[in-house]
């Protein structure tokens, strides 16, 4: 899987869209490969620039379709209240990182299927346009054959349709962590009633497919298709590594499968009223307890957000007595700073804010503050025999 970092390309609805450095290498290789393909399809000469232009456009559209695939996952996750850390393009496609795991098998299934559905729509749209414009010529172009009447635009649409069909089929292979593997996990989770059992089953299936990929890759390499064989074997190695990591994580999280947030949180949290002055917040809370942040609540004890020490210190001393805490808190409007007391403890393990802040606020169904869950509390639960 790609490492965090790389190059930031742009943002979509606050989601960072980035590219791993390996993506630029693959982008170049795809352009070189497509240049030859378009030259064959169009019957162009080596001095003709059209194949190169089409190759660049096609490569960018291909990665654009990969991005749309990942945005499909991301937007469904957002609708389910799961924030997205970032989307990264890398040598094997794209990866949307969720800030926390799905809380139900139904949510897992919907997020997993959203990406393939977007890819299916892209492929179907390209095919409909191509067949309407070129008929049999479009079909020949999709198969990479030279077509007498094929033009550059038709060849581009044909390739984009065929590559998205390939992406769709590949992603639906039931090998965790591919989308098909996540569908398998959701189904196994639903049938067994256990997220860990579902993950373990999907990871085991994923390891099986990884061995198949590696074996077939070696077979292709021995038959002379060295590049294709190495590429397929490398995909198998990455799938196998990811599946083994999922199994290891499952062994750890199985220790807390029966626990919920409310079982391990600090049920007597210290909170700052939102109408308190910043001066009193500094004197009565930050200077007394030496904590980096405190939850802020309204008059009905509903969680509003966090007041961090840096934000309070930044208020000029001359204003601190008149300034209210509500003016300087980090708002929880998007729900990223809290979890429910009834959430499974294992569902918060991948929560980015838990790692970044060292804790999360726990609320009840009405949004009232009920506790604080810290990294230390989660760690003790994982270490418990």
What is the token pair recorded at 139? Answer: 């079909």
Higher-confidence residue of 341 and 103: namely 341
DSSP 8-state symbol, 254: G
CB 368 within 8 A of CB 303: yes
Provide the 3-class DSSP secondary structure of residue 90.
strand
- Determine the pLDDT at residue 154: 83
Q: What is the dihedral of CA 258, 264, 265, 268, to 10 degrees?
A: 130
Q: What is the pLDDT of residues 193-228, one digit of tens each?
A: 888 889 999 999 999 999 999 999 999 999 888 888
Domain stop point among 236, 257, 278: 257
Answer yes or no: do 209 and 285 share one domain: no
Cα first-last separation, the chain: 31
Mean pLDDT, the chain, whole residue set: 88
- Determine the pLDDT at residue 45: 66
Q: How confident is the model at residue 148 (pLDDT cuts 50, 70, 90)?
A: very low
Total number of domains in the chain: 3
Lowest-confidence segment of 139-153, 280-294, 307-321, 347-361 by average pLDDT: 139-153
- Determine the pLDDT at residue 255: 78
Answer yes or no: do 152 and 214 share one domain: no
Q: How confident is the model at residue 38 (pLDDT cuts 50, 70, 90)?
A: confident
Domain stop point among 257, 290, 306: 257
| Residue 288: CB atoms within 10 Å | 10
Answer yes or no: do 156 and 16 share one domain: yes
Higher-confidence residue of 249 and 289: namely 289
Residue 296: which CATH number?
A: 3.10.580.10
DSSP 8-state symbol, 259: -
CB 360 within 8 A of CB 373: yes
Answer yes or no: do 115 and 217 share one domain: no
Mean local confidence (pLDDT), 349-378: 91
β-bridge mates for residue 7, sequence order = 19
Q: Is the pLDDT of residue 74 over 50?
A: yes
Answer yes or no: do 42 and 109 share one domain: yes
Q: What b/e sequence results for 130-147 when a residue is b if at least 16 CB atoms lie within 10 Å of its CB, and e otherwise?
A: bbeebeebbebbbeeeeb
CB 236 within 8 A of CB 211: yes
Q: How far is CA 245 from the centre of its chain?
A: 17
Higher-confidence residue of 154 and 41: namely 154
Q: What is the pLDDT of residues 251-278, one digit of tens each?
A: 777 778 788 999 999 999 999 999 999 9
- Predicted TM-score (pTM) of the model is 0.76
- Determine the pLDDT at residue 204: 92
Report the C-alpha gap between 59 and 80 in whole angstroms: 32
Answer yes or no: do 251 and 120 share one domain: no
- Determine the pLDDT at residue 66: 95
- Cross-sheet strand order for the sheet of 93-98: 7-12, 15-19, 84-90, 93-98
| Residue 282: CB atoms within 10 Å | 18
DSSP 8-state symbol, 2: P
Higher-confidence residue of 218 and 383: namely 218
Q: How confident is the model at residue 46 (pLDDT cuts 50, 70, 90)?
A: low
Answer yes or no: do 268 and 245 share one domain: no
Q: Which helix (H) or strand (E) holds 293?
A: strand 293-297
**Which residue range(s) make up the domain with 301?**
261-383
CB 211 within 8 A of CB 240: yes
Answer yes or no: do 179 and 147 share one domain: no
Q: How confident is the model at residue 94 (pLDDT cuts 50, 70, 90)?
A: confident
Domain stop point among 169, 188, 213: 169
Q: Is the pLDDT of residue 47 over 80?
A: no
Report the C-alpha gap between 236 and 241 in whole angstroms: 9
Q: Which helix (H) or strand (E) holds 308?
A: strand 303-308
Q: How confident is the model at residue 341 (pLDDT cuts 50, 70, 90)?
A: very high
Q: Is the pLDDT of residue 161 over 50?
A: yes
Report the C-alpha gap between 100 and 247 in whole angstroms: 18
Answer yes or no: do 237 and 272 share one domain: no
Answer yes or no: do 94 and 231 share one domain: no
Q: Which of 347, 285, 289, 278 is nearest to 311 (CA)?
A: 278
Higher-confidence residue of 125 and 352: namely 125
Q: Which of 361, 384, 260 is nearest to 307 (CA)?
A: 361
Q: Is the pLDDT of residue 311 over 70?
A: yes
Answer yes or no: do 250 and 287 share one domain: no
- Determine the pLDDT at residue 145: 56
Answer yes or no: do 378 and 275 share one domain: yes
pLDDT above 70 as % of the chain? 94
Mean local confidence (pLDDT), 138-143: 69
Q: How confident is the model at residue 385 (pLDDT cuts 50, 70, 90)?
A: low
């Amino acid at each position: 899987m790609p490492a965090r970092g790389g190059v930031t390309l742009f943002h979509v609805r606050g989601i960072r869209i980035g590219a791993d450095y390996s993506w630029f290498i693959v982008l170049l290789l795809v352009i070189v490969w497509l240049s030859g393909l378009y030259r064959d399809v169009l019957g162009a000469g080596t001095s003709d620039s059209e194949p190169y232009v089409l190759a660049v456009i096609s490569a960018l559209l291909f990665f654009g379709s990969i991005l749309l695939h990942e945005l499909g996952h991301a937007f469904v996750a957002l609708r389910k209240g799961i924030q997205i850390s970032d989307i990264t393009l890398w040598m094997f496609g794209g990866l949307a990182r969720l800030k926390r795991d799905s809380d139900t098998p139904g949510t897992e299934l919907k997020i997993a299927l959203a990406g393939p559905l977007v890819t299916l729509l892209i492929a179907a749209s390209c095919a409909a346009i191509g067949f309407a414009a070129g008929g049999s010529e479009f079909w020949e172009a999709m198969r990479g054959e030279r077509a007498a009447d094929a033009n550059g635009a038709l060849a581009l649409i044909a390739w984009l349709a065929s590559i998205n069909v390939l992406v769709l089929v590949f992603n639906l292979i039931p090998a965790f962590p591919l989308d098909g593997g996540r569908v398998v996990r959701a189904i196994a989770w639903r049938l067994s009633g256990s997220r860990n059992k579902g993950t373990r089953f999907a990871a085991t299936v994923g390891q099986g497919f990884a061995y198949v990929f590696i074996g077939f890759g070696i077979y292709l390499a021995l038959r002379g298709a060295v590049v294709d064989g190495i590429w397929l074997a490398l995909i198998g190695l990455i799938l196998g590594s990811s599946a083994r990591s999922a199994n290891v994580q499952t062994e750890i999280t199985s220790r807390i499968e029966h626990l919920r947030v409310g079982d391990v949180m600090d049920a007597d949290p210290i909170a700052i009223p939102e109408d308190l002055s910043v001066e009193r917040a500094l004197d009565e809370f930050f200077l007394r307890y030496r904590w980096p942040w405190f939850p802020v609540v309204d008059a009905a004890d509903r969680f509003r957000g966090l007041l961090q020490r840096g934000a309070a210190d930044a208020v000029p001393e001359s204003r601190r007595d008149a300034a209210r805490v509500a003016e300087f808190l980090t708002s929880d409007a998007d729900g990223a700073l809290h979890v429910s007391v009834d959430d499974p403890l294992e569902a918060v393990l991948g929560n980015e804010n838990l790692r970044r802040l060292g804790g999360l606020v726990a609320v009840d169904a009405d949004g009232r503050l009920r506790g604080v869950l810290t990294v230390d509390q989660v760690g003790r639960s994982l270490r418990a025999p």
